[in-house]
Structure 1
Amino acid sequence: MREMGGEQVEEAVAGCVAALRPAVDRDWAGVKAGRLEWSCRETAAHIAGDLIAYAGQLAGRAQHAYVPFEITLEGSGDGLDAADNPGILHVIETTGALLAAAVRTTPREVRAFHPYPFRSASREGFAAMGIAEVLLHTHDIAEGLGLAYEPSAELAESVLTRIFPHVQPGPTPWATLLWATGRGDLPGRAPVTAWRWNNNLVLPAGRLTLQGVTPAAARDLSLGGDGGFEWIDGGPFEGTREAAGMLVKAYEAGVHRPEWGVFALVRTEDGRAVGGMGFHGAPDEEGRAEVGYDLVEAARGQGYATEALRALARWALAREDVRSLFATVERDNIASQAVVSRAGFTRVDTDDEEFAYELLG
């Protein structure tokens, strides 16, 4: 799987500079950027500010808040009290290079603070957010200045499948991203007036972390790839690939809710994935959600599934929209029956092939 990283950040920034450079002799301060209240100049400064802020979060390993600094654009000693338009583009190039470098040098398992929705993001998440800021605000500036601009479909799709997992794909990735952020229309879909992107949820679970699988990772897993994870020998197992395929179908149908999808079980000691766990969908009207899981054969019998299921159940049952969790286990799968029992589930039903278990909130 091709991870979103420094190369994509650089591509987005290069596209921004190429699109805006023909208008550097124009008045950016006196023209609004598309539908925004900001001027084109303010929006360009905002791009640079976001890029350096995200680089700072990763480089500083910020855990609880933004690193307390901001960027200020100044003149170059020629009597100007503010940077000119070519200077602003140079700042965007520079801050983009810093984010690309931070993404490249940050270990995969590191997460840093971002306020929503789950208070953290990985290097891939920060790359995707930085790229989204560049693409969308370049569009805004270009619209205000009457310039043509359209990034590659691959870049727009990469953003959608990583930080817009709740957005159903549309006819083209770029048109979908513009619609999803209130900047355009799509046939048959209501206009968007409020939006946020969505980094994946990560839950601590003793020796493991449960890392939410994005649609991009799920598609790769379902096609036989590694989903961007480093697996122990023998992984991922068949059940994880099947669950990933179900996630992709839900995403394409527009019914995927990221926190109710699939999680990779990743060992904290070495960052290697040992299995998958997750939900068969969002809770129903009665607040009931079904869970499932599997482990790579080499990871079985070590208590990983029990630790992960306890953590996932604790998170789910703390929510107001969940009243109970449900799981089915084959009658001859003694090990899995032991896992759900140790996690607090109680057998509530049986048939010729399966036992049913429930855990009440």
Structure 2
Amino acid sequence: MRAVGAEQVEEAVADCVAALGAVTDRDWTEVRAGRLEWSCRRTAAHIASDLIAYAGQLAGRTQDAYTPFEITIDGTEDGLDPADNAGTLQVITTTGALLAAAVRTTPRAVRAFHPFPFRHANREGFAAMGVAEVLLHTYDIAEGMGIGYEPPAELASFVLTRIFPRVKPGPTPWRTLLWATGRGDLPGREPVTEWKWGNNPVLRSERLALEGVTPATAAALSLAGDGGYEWVGGAAADGTREGAGIMVKQYEEGVFHPEWGMYVLVRRDDDRAVGAMGFHAAPGGDGRVEIGYDLVAEARGHGYATEALRTLSRWALEQDGVRAVVAVIDHGNVPSRKVATRAGFVPAFEDLGRTTYELRG
């Protein structure tokens, strides 16, 4: 599958260099970068440092911590003249190219360490974080220099739909991203004073990886796309696309919760998707959460749904305040009823031709 994110990293870096290249003749060391405590020079160095750090995480497949290295761009340790502002932008270009190369060459299923919020990210997540660092800190430096800066809307949207899944879309992607990171205001919304971005969750069973969908993945699946997956049988099932559409609506309404959304079921031995499973919404006040699932026809009969249902239900019941996981199944859907029973669910009540199965903690 094509590695989404590499081109966005390159575009963001090119946009940064073009914008800041207009002020390389000015002093960056004594000017504060917007609302940050850092100087413009230190902020530019931070951009380069983050880009190479993300590339290192992907290249080294680091699992438990950041790879312990850092870069210097001033040249003083080698007895060279300190890099000027133009040289700093050259370093940003170089480190951006390294991150783009790492995104392109890292297999889709690989995840490496990042602390927020599930202690891992895939190549698309690292690309989105890299783009965010470039866009936001270019804005900070531009603000300090007293020049205007607004990146392409598609880049801001790329960031929002990957690592800001809980942020309700606003009037424009860029204004929304600035608000979400405490750099601007939006009508009708309280100012943001603390924030963190978040990558998608992943749970693992013996044969499957259950990969939480992002708003971007949900949108692609709802529009008959592949969502970035190679599907057994060639395409996602209709139920998966319907569930993805529900996730898109939740995102647009600002009630998208990644861990309580849809998970794509991916075989770990060949990285092919076999179906999807997920929650209709976050748990209610009664401690109950409803779950649904769907497999492509070519993957049925191998126990994948039962295995995934056990895994996801067990995870849900370990969360604070969750007392029961329920599945509402039509009487005629015998395969789904068998899946629920094999996963330990028991019939709780019946209504209008459907049975509600329940698994309690």
Per the shorter chain, which TM-score range? over 0.9
Q: CA deviation at 1:222?
A: 0.7
Which residue of 2 is the match for residue 239 of structure 1? 239
Structure 1 equivalent of residue 85 of structure 2 = 85
Question: For residue 309 of structure 2, what is the aligned residue in structure 1?
Answer: 309
The answer for the alignment partner of 1:248 in structure 2 is 248
Name 2:300's counterpart in structure 1.
300
Distance change >3 Å, CA 234–CA 101, structure 1 → 2:
closer
1:1-361 aligned at under 5 Å gives the runs 4-75=4-75, 82-361=82-361
Rate the CA distance shift 1:80–1:148 in 2: closer, same or farther, 3 A: farther
Instruction: Give the alignment's TM-score, normalised by structure 1.
Output: 0.97
What amino acid does structure 1 have at the position aligned with 2:140?
A: D
The structure-2 alpha-carbon separation of the partners of 1:12 and 1:325, relative to structure 1 and needing over 3 Å to count, comes to: same
* Alignment coverage as a number of residue pairs: 361
Unmatched 5+ residue regions in structure 1?
Answer: none
Contact 1:235 1:274 in 2 (8 A): no
Equivalent-residue separation in structure 2 for 1:174 and 1:207 (angstroms): 40
Contact 1:235–1:275 (8 Å) recurs in 2: no
Deviation, 1:76, is: 7.1
The one-letter amino acid paired with 1:39 is S
Secondary structure (helix, strand or coil) at the match of 1:209 reads strand
1:251-290 alpha-carbon deviations (Å, 9 max, x no partner): 0011111111111000101111000100000000122110
Residues 353 and 26 (structure 1 numbering): CA distance in 2 closer, same or farther, change over 3 Å? same
Contact 1:162 1:215 in 2 (8 A): yes
What amino acid sits opposite 2:173 in the alignment?
P
Alpha-carbon distance between aligned partners in 1 of 2:192 and 2:279, rounded to the nearest angstrom: 28
Q: CA deviation at 1:336?
A: 1.0
Contact 1:167 1:254 in 2 (8 A): yes
Decide whether aligned partners of structure 1 residues 348 and 142 sit closer, same or farther in structure 2, where only a CA change above 3 A counts.
same
Equivalent position amino acid for 2:197 in 1:
W
- Mean Cα displacement is larger for which, 76-85 or 196-205? 76-85
Q: In 2, are the aligned partners of 1:10 and 1:96 still within 8 Å (CA)?
A: yes
The letter for the 1-side match of 2:290 is E
Compared CA separation, residues 78 and 220, structure 1 to 2 (3 A):
closer
> Counterpart of 2:302 in 1: which secondary structure?
coil
1:170, CA displacement in angstroms? Answer: 0.4
CA distance, structure 1, for counterparts of residue 252 and residue 335 of structure 2:
34
Contact 1:169 1:252 in 2 (8 A): yes
SS of the residue aligned with 1:169?
coil
CA contact (8 A) 1:24 1:86 kept: yes
RMSD of aligned alpha carbons: 1.5
CA distance in 1, matches of 2:253, 2:202: 24
Q: Give the Å deviation of 1:2.
A: 7.9
Of all paired residues, the percent bearing the same amino acid is 68
Report the residue type matching 1:312 in the other structure: L
Aligned residues of 2:3 and 2:108 also touching (Cα < 8 A): no
Q: CA deviation at 1:330?
A: 1.1
Rounded to whole Å, the distance in 1 between the matches of 2:78 and 2:211 is: 51
